[in-house]
Homo-oligomer: A and B are copies of this chain.
Amino acid sequence: MSRQLHLNAFLMSSGHHEAAWRLPESDPYADVDVDHWIRLARIAERGKLNSLFLADGPVLWQGVEFRPAGQLEPTILLTILATATTHIGLIATASTTYNEPYNLARRFASLDHASGGRAGWNIVTTAGADAARNFGLEDQPDHSDRYQRAEEFVEVSRKLWDSWDDDARQADKATGRYIDPARVHNPEYVGKYYRVAGALNVPRPPQGHPLLVQAGSSEDGKDFAARYADAVFTAHQTLADAQGFYADLKSRAVAAGRDPASVIILPGIVPILAATEAQAQAKAQLLEDLIVPEYGLRQLAAVLEVPQEILKLDEQLPDSIPDSDTIEGAQSRSKLVVALARRERLTVRELIGRLGGGRGHFTFVGTYEQAADVIQEWFENGAADGFNIMGAALPSGLEEFVDHVVPILQERGLFRREYAGRTLREHYGLPRPANQYERVTAGQPGAG
């Protein structure tokens, strides 16, 4: 079979567009409505997508005045969705800066057991003073400190997931011996940030380790992804930028001693689609007209780290905001936004409109066929191994993609018609990791 696309559904209550909740058909209370999420999960599974994904942070977003900002804790919500589906993978974001490895490794192991091997962890280090102040800190730990902590966190988590051999349990009713203690391993991990002595209190997960996902685009983030990530979420506005990132990350993976094909790169796409271009444009316009400029200005000023007063709605960005090399621009959301504004000579109002849909992700407005063309183009030209599908409004944005774009991709032989495996790793074509404590018995005296 030819190389296959990977498609992930990035879910967000009433949609990724900040004004989607204002559409007549939207339920503005969808964020805590379990039935809404179950509906989304079933649509994605109907489309045979690899996985569902939930972003997260331990802080109330600033924009709560203007858009839904509540969200159930992702491992809880995905557990619900596990019971409502049978195959689709379930990827939850969780912070290495504001969790303890023993607790979090156990929670992902539990989700993996509960879902029959469908758990994934999007590893984030959680930027921002607001989150830090919810955990007894005055400000966030600095960037490199957060990434060193993340490395230790993942190292010790892998030891915890491996702490039971796959065959640790004999459960011998005749003798009363439940486990061979030699098959349970204490990590006895001692790092700079974490010390974890004992084994996990859950058997090894069905997948060995949950799928590890990463989305940082800084230098530290890309190095981290190259070493640890099975899949990478990323944001690019142009094919060229995406190609640059793709080549960079794959070469970092090689430098880290890994097979570049084992790091799956998934740029985000916000598809606003219809049967005709004109209809799609009208949809996009409808959403753009619902943006509250006051909120957009505040968000834009925060992303650019400039005073809000210097931004004029009907003028271009002031020259005082530094431009940047667009090839390396993927390093931060700020550079990407400035590059987009300069390249297309957008007014601040237009820029806010463009960002309202995907916060810097690639918004594609067009027909179903055109969306399939773009996906194929990026996929076949070294820019993507698949896509992170970000419905502007939900459920409609996901439903249209599944009902109209997926069949085209299937027709072209680019995407599965049925799930071949049962686990999330299988959907991404990745092997089950070996246990680092596994004893080499073959060839040993008495083994056999």
Contact = CB atoms under 8 A, between A and B. Distances in A.
Most buried by B among A80, A103, A106, A181: A103
A351 to B, nearest CB: 19
B130 A100 contact: no
Contacts of A57: 201
Contact of A61 (B111, B130, B195, B201): B201
A177 B110 contact: no
A123 B8 CA distance: 38
A195 B68 contact: no
Interface string A27-47: 011011010000000000000
A107 B28 CA distance: 22
A149 to B, nearest CB: 12
Contacts of A79: 76, 79-80
A381 to B, nearest CB: 39
A431 interface: no
A310 interface: no
A171 B102 CA distance: 39
B184 A64 contact: yes
B133 A176 contact: no
Total copies of the chain: 2
Interface in A211-249: none
A278 interface: no
A21 B177 CA distance: 11
A73 B110 contact: yes
Contact of A179 (B24, B64, B102, B290): B64
Given A28-B169, A64-B179, A72 B134 contact: no
B114 A34 contact: yes
A70 to B, nearest CB: 5
Most buried by B among A22, A57, A65, A178: A178
Contact of A135 (B22, B75, B100): B100
A3 interface: no
Nearest to A19: B176
8 contacts: A58-B102, A60-B200, A64-B181, A68-B178, A71-B202, A72-B110, A73-B110, A80-B114
